[in-house]
Structure 1
Amino acid sequence: MKTSITSESLSCGAPAQAAQAALAELPVRAGASLKPDHFQYILNHLPDIGFFEIHAENYLVDGGPFHHYLTRIRERYALSIHGVGLSIGGESPLDLQHLDRLADLIDRYAPAVFSEHLAWSGHAGFFLNDLLPLPYHRATLQRVCDHVDQVQNRLKRRLLLENPATYVEFSSSNITETDFIIEILQRTGCGLLLDINNVYVSSTNHIRDPRAYIDALPPGTVGQIHLAGFSQEQDGAGAPLLIDSHDAPVAAAVWDLYDYALCRFGPVPTLIERDGNIPPFEVLQAEVRLADERLNSDALRGRRS
Protein backbone atom coordinates (compact mmCIF):
# COMPACT_ATOMS: atom_id res chain seq x y z
CA MET A 1 0.00 0.00 0.00
CA LYS A 2 1.31 3.42 -0.91
CA THR A 3 2.14 5.70 1.98
CA SER A 4 -0.40 8.46 2.49
CA ILE A 5 1.71 11.61 2.82
CA THR A 6 -0.06 14.93 2.46
CA SER A 7 1.29 18.45 2.45
CA GLU A 8 0.07 18.73 6.04
CA SER A 9 1.85 15.56 7.17
CA LEU A 10 5.08 16.77 5.60
CA SER A 11 5.17 19.71 8.02
CA CYS A 12 7.69 19.26 10.82
CA GLY A 13 5.75 21.42 13.26
CA ALA A 14 7.17 24.24 15.35
CA PRO A 15 10.88 23.41 14.86
CA ALA A 16 10.51 23.59 11.08
CA GLN A 17 8.55 26.82 11.27
CA ALA A 18 11.29 28.34 13.36
CA ALA A 19 13.98 27.47 10.81
CA GLN A 20 14.94 30.16 8.35
CA ALA A 21 12.95 29.87 5.14
CA ALA A 22 16.13 30.03 3.07
CA LEU A 23 17.37 26.85 4.77
CA ALA A 24 14.15 24.85 4.35
CA GLU A 25 15.28 23.14 1.15
CA LEU A 26 18.59 21.99 -0.23
CA PRO A 27 19.85 24.50 -2.77
CA VAL A 28 20.70 23.04 -6.16
CA ARG A 29 24.36 23.22 -5.30
CA ALA A 30 27.06 20.96 -3.95
CA GLY A 31 27.58 20.28 -0.26
CA ALA A 32 29.92 18.33 1.97
CA SER A 33 29.88 15.82 4.80
CA LEU A 34 30.04 17.63 8.13
CA LYS A 35 32.95 16.28 10.19
CA PRO A 36 34.09 17.25 13.71
CA ASP A 37 37.54 18.01 12.25
CA HIS A 38 35.97 20.98 10.45
CA PHE A 39 33.48 22.35 13.03
CA GLN A 40 35.60 25.27 14.17
CA TYR A 41 36.93 26.10 10.70
CA ILE A 42 33.37 26.38 9.37
CA LEU A 43 32.26 28.68 12.16
CA ASN A 44 35.39 30.82 11.84
CA HIS A 45 35.35 31.18 8.05
CA LEU A 46 31.69 30.60 7.01
CA PRO A 47 32.70 29.01 3.69
CA ASP A 48 30.50 29.44 0.63
CA ILE A 49 29.00 25.96 0.37
CA GLY A 50 25.54 24.73 -0.55
CA PHE A 51 24.74 22.53 2.46
CA PHE A 52 26.10 20.05 4.97
CA GLU A 53 25.11 16.46 5.66
CA ILE A 54 25.44 14.47 8.88
CA HIS A 55 25.12 10.79 9.74
CA ALA A 56 22.09 10.59 12.02
CA GLU A 57 23.57 7.92 14.27
CA ASN A 58 26.31 10.29 15.43
CA TYR A 59 23.68 12.63 16.91
CA LEU A 60 21.15 10.32 18.61
CA VAL A 61 21.91 11.71 22.08
CA ASP A 62 20.41 14.70 23.85
CA GLY A 63 23.49 16.87 24.26
CA GLY A 64 27.24 17.11 23.90
CA PRO A 65 29.71 18.98 21.68
CA PHE A 66 28.33 17.57 18.40
CA HIS A 67 24.94 19.16 19.07
CA HIS A 68 26.59 22.39 20.24
CA TYR A 69 28.37 22.82 16.92
CA LEU A 70 25.58 21.47 14.72
CA THR A 71 23.10 23.93 16.25
CA ARG A 72 25.36 26.86 15.36
CA ILE A 73 26.14 25.57 11.85
CA ARG A 74 22.46 24.80 11.18
CA GLU A 75 21.64 28.46 11.80
CA ARG A 76 23.59 29.36 8.65
CA TYR A 77 23.46 26.34 6.34
CA ALA A 78 20.89 23.97 4.88
CA LEU A 79 21.10 20.46 6.31
CA SER A 80 20.65 16.91 5.07
CA ILE A 81 20.47 13.98 7.50
CA HIS A 82 21.64 10.58 6.31
CA GLY A 83 20.78 7.43 8.25
CA VAL A 84 22.90 4.28 8.26
CA GLY A 85 21.20 2.11 10.88
CA LEU A 86 17.51 1.57 10.08
CA SER A 87 18.14 -1.74 8.28
CA ILE A 88 15.28 -1.09 5.87
CA GLY A 89 16.08 -4.21 3.85
CA GLY A 90 16.30 -6.53 6.86
CA GLU A 91 14.01 -9.42 7.67
CA SER A 92 13.52 -8.23 11.26
CA PRO A 93 10.98 -5.54 12.16
CA LEU A 94 12.31 -2.00 12.31
CA ASP A 95 13.76 -0.90 15.64
CA LEU A 96 11.01 1.42 16.89
CA GLN A 97 13.21 3.05 19.52
CA HIS A 98 15.76 3.90 16.84
CA LEU A 99 13.00 5.29 14.65
CA ASP A 100 11.70 7.41 17.54
CA ARG A 101 15.17 8.85 18.14
CA LEU A 102 15.42 9.70 14.44
CA ALA A 103 12.07 11.48 14.66
CA ASP A 104 13.32 13.54 17.61
CA LEU A 105 16.51 14.46 15.72
CA ILE A 106 14.53 15.52 12.66
CA ASP A 107 12.15 17.60 14.76
CA ARG A 108 15.13 19.27 16.41
CA TYR A 109 16.97 20.30 13.23
CA ALA A 110 14.27 20.29 10.52
CA PRO A 111 16.58 19.04 7.75
CA ALA A 112 15.67 19.57 4.15
CA VAL A 113 16.26 15.88 3.40
CA PHE A 114 16.36 12.59 5.29
CA SER A 115 17.80 9.56 3.53
CA GLU A 116 18.59 5.91 4.24
CA HIS A 117 20.06 2.88 2.45
CA LEU A 118 18.56 0.04 0.47
CA ALA A 119 20.43 -2.44 2.65
CA TRP A 120 20.25 -4.33 5.93
CA SER A 121 22.51 -4.13 8.96
CA GLY A 122 20.79 -6.05 11.74
CA HIS A 123 19.01 -9.33 12.43
CA ALA A 124 17.42 -10.95 15.48
CA GLY A 125 18.67 -8.22 17.80
CA PHE A 126 22.24 -8.18 16.50
CA PHE A 127 23.61 -5.08 14.78
CA LEU A 128 26.32 -5.41 12.14
CA ASN A 129 28.39 -2.34 11.38
CA ASP A 130 27.92 -2.73 7.65
CA LEU A 131 25.42 -2.10 4.86
CA LEU A 132 24.66 -5.53 3.45
CA PRO A 133 22.93 -6.46 0.16
CA LEU A 134 19.57 -8.15 -0.11
CA PRO A 135 18.04 -10.50 -2.70
CA TYR A 136 15.86 -8.80 -5.29
CA HIS A 137 12.60 -10.73 -5.48
CA ARG A 138 8.94 -10.19 -4.61
CA ALA A 139 9.17 -11.12 -0.95
CA THR A 140 11.96 -8.65 -0.16
CA LEU A 141 10.29 -6.03 -2.36
CA GLN A 142 7.14 -6.18 -0.24
CA ARG A 143 9.15 -6.06 2.99
CA VAL A 144 11.18 -3.04 1.89
CA CYS A 145 8.04 -1.21 0.79
CA ASP A 146 6.38 -1.93 4.14
CA HIS A 147 9.44 -0.61 5.98
CA VAL A 148 9.63 2.53 3.82
CA ASP A 149 5.93 3.18 4.46
CA GLN A 150 6.51 2.78 8.19
CA VAL A 151 9.45 5.19 8.19
CA GLN A 152 7.67 7.85 6.14
CA ASN A 153 4.53 7.69 8.27
CA ARG A 154 6.51 7.94 11.53
CA LEU A 155 8.77 10.76 10.34
CA LYS A 156 5.93 12.53 8.51
CA ARG A 157 8.14 13.23 5.53
CA ARG A 158 9.33 11.72 2.28
CA LEU A 159 12.35 9.45 2.50
CA LEU A 160 15.14 9.33 -0.06
CA LEU A 161 16.38 5.75 -0.51
CA GLU A 162 20.01 5.25 -1.56
CA ASN A 163 21.09 2.64 -4.10
CA PRO A 164 23.69 0.29 -2.59
CA ALA A 165 27.30 -0.54 -3.33
CA THR A 166 27.49 -4.34 -3.63
CA TYR A 167 30.24 -6.93 -3.84
CA VAL A 168 28.17 -10.13 -4.03
CA GLU A 169 24.74 -10.98 -5.43
CA PHE A 170 22.07 -13.50 -4.47
CA SER A 171 21.33 -16.38 -6.84
CA SER A 172 17.67 -16.08 -5.78
CA SER A 173 17.35 -12.56 -7.24
CA ASN A 174 14.97 -12.45 -10.19
CA ILE A 175 14.48 -8.67 -10.47
CA THR A 176 17.16 -6.23 -11.61
CA GLU A 177 18.31 -3.68 -9.05
CA THR A 178 16.96 -0.76 -11.07
CA ASP A 179 13.54 -2.40 -11.54
CA PHE A 180 13.49 -3.20 -7.82
CA ILE A 181 14.21 0.43 -6.95
CA ILE A 182 11.67 1.78 -9.43
CA GLU A 183 8.98 -0.46 -7.96
CA ILE A 184 9.76 0.84 -4.45
CA LEU A 185 9.55 4.44 -5.66
CA GLN A 186 6.20 3.82 -7.35
CA ARG A 187 4.64 1.90 -4.46
CA THR A 188 5.75 4.14 -1.58
CA GLY A 189 6.18 7.61 -3.08
CA CYS A 190 9.72 7.85 -1.70
CA GLY A 191 12.51 9.41 -3.72
CA LEU A 192 15.94 8.23 -4.80
CA LEU A 193 19.28 9.27 -3.41
CA LEU A 194 21.44 8.37 -6.40
CA ASP A 195 24.94 7.49 -5.25
CA ILE A 196 27.03 7.73 -8.42
CA ASN A 197 30.04 6.12 -6.76
CA ASN A 198 27.89 3.15 -5.73
CA VAL A 199 26.66 2.77 -9.31
CA TYR A 200 30.23 2.72 -10.59
CA VAL A 201 31.49 0.38 -7.84
CA SER A 202 28.67 -2.16 -8.24
CA SER A 203 28.75 -2.04 -12.04
CA THR A 204 32.50 -2.66 -12.08
CA ASN A 205 32.26 -5.48 -9.54
CA HIS A 206 29.47 -7.23 -11.45
CA ILE A 207 30.80 -6.39 -14.94
CA ARG A 208 27.88 -4.21 -16.04
CA ASP A 209 27.52 -0.90 -17.84
CA PRO A 210 27.09 1.94 -15.30
CA ARG A 211 25.53 4.18 -17.93
CA ALA A 212 22.85 1.58 -18.61
CA TYR A 213 22.06 1.68 -14.88
CA ILE A 214 21.58 5.47 -15.09
CA ASP A 215 19.49 5.12 -18.25
CA ALA A 216 17.13 2.67 -16.53
CA LEU A 217 16.13 5.17 -13.83
CA PRO A 218 13.24 7.52 -14.66
CA PRO A 219 13.84 11.28 -14.59
CA GLY A 220 12.07 13.13 -11.81
CA THR A 221 12.85 10.54 -9.13
CA VAL A 222 16.29 11.71 -7.98
CA GLY A 223 16.19 14.05 -5.00
CA GLN A 224 19.90 14.09 -4.17
CA ILE A 225 23.20 12.77 -5.51
CA HIS A 226 26.22 11.43 -3.62
CA LEU A 227 29.79 11.41 -4.89
CA ALA A 228 32.66 9.70 -3.07
CA GLY A 229 35.99 7.96 -3.52
CA PHE A 230 36.62 4.22 -3.65
CA SER A 231 39.53 1.87 -3.03
CA GLN A 232 40.55 -1.04 -5.25
CA GLU A 233 41.45 -4.61 -4.39
CA GLN A 234 41.31 -7.93 -6.26
CA ASP A 235 38.80 -10.74 -5.93
CA GLY A 236 39.69 -14.43 -5.78
CA ALA A 237 39.93 -14.62 -9.58
CA GLY A 238 42.28 -11.64 -9.78
CA ALA A 239 39.62 -9.29 -11.19
CA PRO A 240 39.27 -5.71 -9.89
CA LEU A 241 37.13 -5.39 -6.76
CA LEU A 242 36.11 -1.84 -5.89
CA ILE A 243 35.27 -0.90 -2.30
CA ASP A 244 32.99 2.02 -1.43
CA SER A 245 35.48 3.37 1.11
CA HIS A 246 34.72 7.13 1.19
CA ASP A 247 38.36 7.76 2.08
CA ALA A 248 39.74 9.21 -1.16
CA PRO A 249 38.98 11.93 -3.70
CA VAL A 250 36.25 11.30 -6.28
CA ALA A 251 37.73 9.27 -9.15
CA ALA A 252 37.79 10.60 -12.72
CA ALA A 253 35.48 7.79 -13.90
CA VAL A 254 32.93 8.76 -11.24
CA TRP A 255 33.09 12.42 -12.30
CA ASP A 256 32.40 11.31 -15.88
CA LEU A 257 29.43 9.23 -14.77
CA TYR A 258 28.19 12.20 -12.73
CA ASP A 259 28.24 14.35 -15.88
CA TYR A 260 26.23 11.66 -17.65
CA ALA A 261 23.69 11.53 -14.81
CA LEU A 262 23.28 15.32 -14.81
CA CYS A 263 22.46 15.20 -18.50
CA ARG A 264 19.68 12.71 -17.76
CA PHE A 265 18.27 14.09 -14.51
CA GLY A 266 19.23 17.75 -14.65
CA PRO A 267 20.92 19.67 -11.80
CA VAL A 268 20.39 17.91 -8.45
CA PRO A 269 21.78 18.83 -5.00
CA THR A 270 25.04 16.92 -4.74
CA LEU A 271 27.06 15.81 -1.73
CA ILE A 272 30.78 15.12 -1.60
CA GLU A 273 31.09 12.29 0.94
CA ARG A 274 34.26 11.83 2.97
CA ASP A 275 34.36 9.52 6.00
CA GLY A 276 38.02 8.48 6.21
CA ASN A 277 41.41 10.14 5.68
CA ILE A 278 39.69 13.44 6.37
CA PRO A 279 41.60 16.24 4.60
CA PRO A 280 41.72 19.92 5.53
CA PHE A 281 38.43 21.61 4.76
CA GLU A 282 39.94 23.59 1.88
CA VAL A 283 40.74 20.31 0.08
CA LEU A 284 37.19 19.04 0.52
CA GLN A 285 35.78 22.37 -0.59
CA ALA A 286 37.81 22.19 -3.80
CA GLU A 287 35.91 19.01 -4.72
CA VAL A 288 32.66 20.72 -3.81
CA ARG A 289 33.55 23.51 -6.27
CA LEU A 290 34.15 20.93 -9.02
CA ALA A 291 30.63 19.60 -8.51
CA ASP A 292 29.22 23.14 -8.45
CA GLU A 293 30.94 23.91 -11.75
CA ARG A 294 29.32 20.87 -13.35
CA LEU A 295 25.89 21.71 -11.92
CA ASN A 296 26.05 25.21 -13.39
CA SER A 297 27.93 24.53 -16.60
CA ASP A 298 26.76 25.88 -19.95
CA ALA A 299 27.74 22.53 -21.45
CA LEU A 300 25.24 20.74 -19.20
CA ARG A 301 22.46 23.12 -20.17
CA GLY A 302 23.33 22.71 -23.84
CA ARG A 303 23.36 18.91 -23.73
CA ARG A 304 20.00 18.80 -21.95
CA SER A 305 18.40 21.21 -24.40
Structure 2
Amino acid sequence: MTESVYHIPVMLAQCTEGLAIDPNGIYVDVTFGGGGHSREILKHLDNGHLYGFDQDQDAEANIPADPKFTFVQANFRDIKKYLRLYGVKKVDGILADLGISSHQIDEPSRGFSTRFKGDLDMRMNQSAPLSAKEVLNTYEESKLHKIFGIYGEVKNAKTLAQAVVAERAQQAFETTEGFTAFLKKYAPRGKEFKYFAQVFQALRIEVNDEMGALEEMLMSSVELLKPEGRLVVMSYHSLEDRLVKNLIQKGKFQGELEKDFYGNPMRPLEPVSRGAVVADEKEIAANPRARSAKLRIAKKTGK
Protein backbone atom coordinates (compact mmCIF):
# COMPACT_ATOMS: atom_id res chain seq x y z
CA MET A 1 0.00 0.00 0.00
CA THR A 2 1.64 3.25 -1.06
CA GLU A 3 1.75 6.28 1.17
CA SER A 4 0.06 8.46 -1.47
CA VAL A 5 -2.95 6.15 -1.40
CA TYR A 6 -2.95 5.62 2.36
CA HIS A 7 -2.38 9.17 3.57
CA ILE A 8 -0.70 12.39 2.41
CA PRO A 9 1.30 13.81 5.34
CA VAL A 10 0.45 17.42 6.24
CA MET A 11 3.19 20.07 6.73
CA LEU A 12 5.90 17.45 6.30
CA ALA A 13 8.81 19.92 6.09
CA GLN A 14 7.58 22.01 9.04
CA CYS A 15 7.17 18.93 11.23
CA THR A 16 10.64 17.63 10.39
CA GLU A 17 12.26 21.03 10.95
CA GLY A 18 10.37 21.39 14.22
CA LEU A 19 12.01 18.25 15.58
CA ALA A 20 15.50 19.78 15.04
CA ILE A 21 16.76 16.25 14.37
CA ASP A 22 20.06 15.03 15.86
CA PRO A 23 21.32 12.33 13.42
CA ASN A 24 22.22 10.17 16.43
CA GLY A 25 19.12 10.89 18.48
CA ILE A 26 16.10 8.81 19.48
CA TYR A 27 12.73 9.90 18.10
CA VAL A 28 9.13 8.76 18.33
CA ASP A 29 6.35 9.15 15.76
CA VAL A 30 3.31 8.36 17.92
CA THR A 31 0.91 8.43 14.93
CA PHE A 32 2.70 6.32 12.32
CA GLY A 33 -0.29 5.81 9.96
CA GLY A 34 0.91 5.85 6.36
CA GLY A 35 4.50 6.37 7.49
CA GLY A 36 5.04 9.63 5.60
CA HIS A 37 6.46 11.59 8.52
CA SER A 38 8.48 8.57 9.72
CA ARG A 39 10.16 8.06 6.35
CA GLU A 40 11.16 11.72 6.30
CA ILE A 41 12.60 11.53 9.83
CA LEU A 42 14.60 8.40 8.92
CA LYS A 43 16.33 10.32 6.10
CA HIS A 44 17.91 12.55 8.77
CA LEU A 45 19.15 9.75 11.06
CA ASP A 46 22.62 8.18 10.99
CA ASN A 47 23.07 6.16 14.17
CA GLY A 48 19.80 7.34 15.66
CA HIS A 49 16.57 5.38 15.99
CA LEU A 50 12.89 6.00 15.37
CA TYR A 51 9.97 4.28 17.09
CA GLY A 52 6.62 4.42 15.32
CA PHE A 53 3.37 3.86 17.25
CA ASP A 54 -0.05 3.06 15.78
CA GLN A 55 -2.95 1.13 17.28
CA ASP A 56 -4.45 0.42 13.84
CA GLN A 57 -3.20 -2.91 12.50
CA ASP A 58 -3.69 -1.63 8.91
CA ALA A 59 -0.67 0.64 9.48
CA GLU A 60 1.65 -2.39 9.55
CA ALA A 61 1.48 -2.51 5.74
CA ASN A 62 3.48 0.74 5.65
CA ILE A 63 6.43 -0.26 7.85
CA PRO A 64 9.71 0.81 6.18
CA ALA A 65 12.45 -1.79 5.76
CA ASP A 66 14.98 0.17 7.79
CA PRO A 67 17.01 -1.15 10.75
CA LYS A 68 16.75 2.32 12.33
CA PHE A 69 12.97 1.88 12.68
CA THR A 70 10.85 -0.07 15.17
CA PHE A 71 7.07 -0.36 14.83
CA VAL A 72 4.96 -0.63 17.98
CA GLN A 73 1.29 -1.57 17.54
CA ALA A 74 -0.16 0.22 20.55
CA ASN A 75 -2.20 3.24 21.58
CA PHE A 76 0.04 6.27 22.01
CA ARG A 77 -1.32 6.74 25.54
CA ASP A 78 1.01 3.84 26.47
CA ILE A 79 4.12 5.36 24.89
CA LYS A 80 6.13 5.36 28.15
CA LYS A 81 5.34 1.73 28.99
CA TYR A 82 6.26 0.39 25.55
CA LEU A 83 9.43 2.44 25.17
CA ARG A 84 10.57 1.09 28.53
CA LEU A 85 10.24 -2.45 27.09
CA TYR A 86 12.83 -1.39 24.50
CA GLY A 87 15.08 0.07 27.19
CA VAL A 88 14.30 3.66 26.20
CA LYS A 89 13.89 6.11 29.09
CA LYS A 90 14.57 9.43 27.35
CA VAL A 91 14.10 10.65 23.78
CA ASP A 92 15.18 13.64 21.68
CA GLY A 93 11.87 14.33 19.98
CA ILE A 94 8.24 13.27 19.72
CA LEU A 95 5.92 13.87 16.77
CA ALA A 96 2.12 13.53 16.84
CA ASP A 97 -0.14 14.08 13.82
CA LEU A 98 -3.57 13.80 15.45
CA GLY A 99 -5.63 13.65 12.27
CA ILE A 100 -7.48 10.55 11.20
CA SER A 101 -5.74 9.00 8.17
CA SER A 102 -7.15 9.20 4.67
CA HIS A 103 -7.06 5.40 4.54
CA GLN A 104 -9.35 5.09 7.57
CA ILE A 105 -11.78 7.64 6.13
CA ASP A 106 -11.82 6.00 2.70
CA GLU A 107 -12.32 2.43 3.96
CA PRO A 108 -16.15 1.97 4.04
CA SER A 109 -16.05 -0.90 6.53
CA ARG A 110 -14.43 1.30 9.18
CA GLY A 111 -17.49 3.58 9.39
CA PHE A 112 -15.58 6.86 9.75
CA SER A 113 -17.07 8.63 6.75
CA THR A 114 -20.54 9.81 5.79
CA ARG A 115 -19.64 9.23 2.11
CA PHE A 116 -19.86 5.45 2.23
CA LYS A 117 -22.27 2.80 3.44
CA GLY A 118 -20.72 0.76 6.23
CA ASP A 119 -21.15 -0.39 9.80
CA LEU A 120 -21.22 2.27 12.51
CA ASP A 121 -17.80 1.20 13.79
CA MET A 122 -15.22 4.05 14.08
CA ARG A 123 -12.71 2.06 16.13
CA MET A 124 -9.08 3.04 15.51
CA ASN A 125 -8.10 -0.23 17.17
CA GLN A 126 -10.30 -2.84 15.54
CA SER A 127 -10.04 -5.19 18.51
CA ALA A 128 -11.36 -2.57 20.96
CA PRO A 129 -14.76 -3.37 22.51
CA LEU A 130 -16.64 -0.08 22.04
CA SER A 131 -18.05 0.92 18.62
CA ALA A 132 -20.14 3.89 17.44
CA LYS A 133 -23.09 1.52 17.08
CA GLU A 134 -22.91 0.66 20.77
CA VAL A 135 -22.64 4.33 21.78
CA LEU A 136 -25.74 5.28 19.79
CA ASN A 137 -27.80 2.29 20.85
CA THR A 138 -26.93 2.05 24.56
CA TYR A 139 -25.77 5.40 25.98
CA GLU A 140 -28.31 7.30 28.06
CA GLU A 141 -29.65 10.59 26.76
CA SER A 142 -27.62 12.84 29.10
CA LYS A 143 -24.37 11.21 28.04
CA LEU A 144 -25.21 11.52 24.34
CA HIS A 145 -26.10 15.19 24.91
CA LYS A 146 -22.67 15.77 26.47
CA ILE A 147 -20.80 13.93 23.69
CA PHE A 148 -22.57 15.76 20.85
CA GLY A 149 -22.23 19.13 22.59
CA ILE A 150 -18.64 18.96 23.78
CA TYR A 151 -16.89 16.70 21.26
CA GLY A 152 -18.88 17.76 18.20
CA GLU A 153 -19.83 21.30 19.24
CA VAL A 154 -23.30 20.48 17.85
CA LYS A 155 -25.68 23.39 18.56
CA ASN A 156 -28.84 21.29 18.95
CA ALA A 157 -27.08 18.55 20.94
CA LYS A 158 -29.90 18.12 23.47
CA THR A 159 -32.56 17.79 20.75
CA LEU A 160 -30.40 15.32 18.83
CA ALA A 161 -29.75 13.19 21.94
CA GLN A 162 -33.50 13.01 22.64
CA ALA A 163 -34.19 12.06 19.02
CA VAL A 164 -31.54 9.30 19.03
CA VAL A 165 -33.06 7.72 22.14
CA ALA A 166 -36.59 7.90 20.66
CA GLU A 167 -35.48 6.50 17.28
CA ARG A 168 -33.50 3.54 18.64
CA ALA A 169 -36.55 2.44 20.64
CA GLN A 170 -38.18 1.75 17.29
CA GLN A 171 -35.11 0.51 15.38
CA ALA A 172 -31.44 0.16 16.31
CA PHE A 173 -28.81 2.21 14.45
CA GLU A 174 -26.65 -0.11 12.33
CA THR A 175 -25.10 1.66 9.31
CA THR A 176 -23.53 5.02 8.49
CA GLU A 177 -26.02 5.42 5.65
CA GLY A 178 -29.02 4.87 7.94
CA PHE A 179 -27.64 7.21 10.58
CA THR A 180 -26.93 10.07 8.16
CA ALA A 181 -30.47 9.69 6.73
CA PHE A 182 -31.75 10.11 10.30
CA LEU A 183 -29.46 13.13 10.90
CA LYS A 184 -30.85 15.04 7.89
CA LYS A 185 -33.96 15.91 9.89
CA TYR A 186 -31.87 17.77 12.49
CA ALA A 187 -29.18 19.38 10.31
CA PRO A 188 -29.33 23.11 9.45
CA ARG A 189 -30.45 23.55 5.86
CA GLY A 190 -27.51 24.04 3.52
CA LYS A 191 -25.04 22.90 6.21
CA GLU A 192 -25.90 19.21 6.29
CA PHE A 193 -22.41 17.90 5.55
CA LYS A 194 -20.79 20.06 8.21
CA TYR A 195 -23.39 18.85 10.69
CA PHE A 196 -22.77 15.20 9.76
CA ALA A 197 -19.03 15.75 10.20
CA GLN A 198 -19.52 17.27 13.66
CA VAL A 199 -21.69 14.40 14.86
CA PHE A 200 -19.36 11.75 13.41
CA GLN A 201 -16.37 13.51 15.01
CA ALA A 202 -18.12 13.44 18.39
CA LEU A 203 -18.79 9.71 18.10
CA ARG A 204 -15.24 8.96 16.93
CA ILE A 205 -13.72 10.86 19.86
CA GLU A 206 -15.92 8.97 22.33
CA VAL A 207 -15.36 5.53 20.79
CA ASN A 208 -11.58 5.94 20.89
CA ASP A 209 -11.36 8.01 24.11
CA GLU A 210 -9.26 10.41 22.05
CA MET A 211 -9.12 13.24 24.58
CA GLY A 212 -8.15 10.96 27.46
CA ALA A 213 -5.51 9.24 25.34
CA LEU A 214 -4.13 12.60 24.18
CA GLU A 215 -3.78 13.90 27.74
CA GLU A 216 -1.92 10.74 28.80
CA MET A 217 0.37 10.85 25.76
CA LEU A 218 1.21 14.52 26.30
CA MET A 219 2.03 14.05 30.00
CA SER A 220 4.19 11.01 29.17
CA SER A 221 5.95 13.02 26.47
CA VAL A 222 6.93 15.67 28.99
CA GLU A 223 8.55 12.97 31.14
CA LEU A 224 10.25 11.22 28.22
CA LEU A 225 11.85 14.24 26.56
CA LYS A 226 15.46 15.09 27.29
CA PRO A 227 16.25 18.74 28.14
CA GLU A 228 15.95 20.72 24.87
CA GLY A 229 14.05 17.77 23.35
CA ARG A 230 11.27 18.74 20.95
CA LEU A 231 7.53 18.06 21.04
CA VAL A 232 5.81 18.59 17.68
CA VAL A 233 2.01 18.20 17.64
CA MET A 234 -0.40 18.79 14.78
CA SER A 235 -4.11 18.95 15.61
CA TYR A 236 -7.22 19.35 13.48
CA HIS A 237 -9.92 20.57 15.84
CA SER A 238 -10.10 23.08 18.68
CA LEU A 239 -10.48 20.54 21.50
CA GLU A 240 -7.14 18.91 20.71
CA ASP A 241 -5.37 22.18 19.97
CA ARG A 242 -6.55 23.69 23.26
CA LEU A 243 -5.01 20.83 25.26
CA VAL A 244 -1.68 21.12 23.43
CA LYS A 245 -1.63 24.93 23.67
CA ASN A 246 -2.42 24.94 27.40
CA LEU A 247 0.24 22.35 28.19
CA ILE A 248 2.90 24.33 26.34
CA GLN A 249 1.90 27.73 27.69
CA LYS A 250 0.79 26.83 31.23
CA GLY A 251 2.29 23.44 31.97
CA LYS A 252 -1.17 21.94 32.51
CA PHE A 253 -4.44 21.43 30.68
CA GLN A 254 -6.58 23.79 32.75
CA GLY A 255 -6.08 26.79 35.00
CA GLU A 256 -3.53 29.58 35.11
CA LEU A 257 0.22 29.50 34.68
CA GLU A 258 1.97 28.98 38.03
CA LYS A 259 5.12 30.91 38.92
CA ASP A 260 7.83 30.28 41.48
CA PHE A 261 8.80 32.60 44.35
CA TYR A 262 10.85 34.76 41.97
CA GLY A 263 8.09 35.08 39.38
CA ASN A 264 9.58 32.60 36.91
CA PRO A 265 7.10 30.47 34.95
CA MET A 266 6.80 26.90 36.26
CA ARG A 267 6.27 24.86 33.13
CA PRO A 268 8.15 21.90 31.66
CA LEU A 269 7.87 23.07 28.05
CA GLU A 270 8.41 26.35 26.28
CA PRO A 271 7.09 27.27 22.83
CA VAL A 272 9.47 27.25 19.86
CA SER A 273 6.95 28.54 17.35
CA ARG A 274 5.04 31.76 18.00
CA GLY A 275 1.48 30.50 18.09
CA ALA A 276 0.32 27.77 15.75
CA VAL A 277 1.99 27.10 12.39
CA VAL A 278 -0.51 26.65 9.53
CA ALA A 279 -0.21 25.30 6.00
CA ASP A 280 0.23 27.68 3.08
CA GLU A 281 -2.33 28.06 0.29
CA LYS A 282 -0.30 25.89 -2.10
CA GLU A 283 -0.39 22.91 0.26
CA ILE A 284 -4.07 23.44 1.06
CA ALA A 285 -4.88 23.43 -2.67
CA ALA A 286 -3.01 20.12 -3.08
CA ASN A 287 -4.28 18.56 0.15
CA PRO A 288 -7.53 20.11 1.50
CA ARG A 289 -7.08 18.29 4.85
CA ALA A 290 -4.25 20.70 5.62
CA ARG A 291 -6.72 23.61 5.91
CA SER A 292 -7.72 22.80 9.48
CA ALA A 293 -4.26 21.72 10.70
CA LYS A 294 -2.53 23.63 13.50
CA LEU A 295 1.07 22.75 14.31
CA ARG A 296 2.61 23.59 17.68
CA ILE A 297 6.29 23.12 18.49
CA ALA A 298 7.81 23.16 21.98
CA LYS A 299 11.02 22.14 23.71
CA LYS A 300 11.68 20.68 27.14
CA THR A 301 13.05 23.17 29.64
CA GLY A 302 15.77 22.44 32.20
CA LYS A 303 19.24 21.02 32.01
Q: Normalization by structure 1: what TM-score?
A: 0.29
Q: Normalization by structure 2: what TM-score?
A: 0.30
Q: Which has the larger radius of gyration?
A: 2
Decide which structure has greater strand share: 1
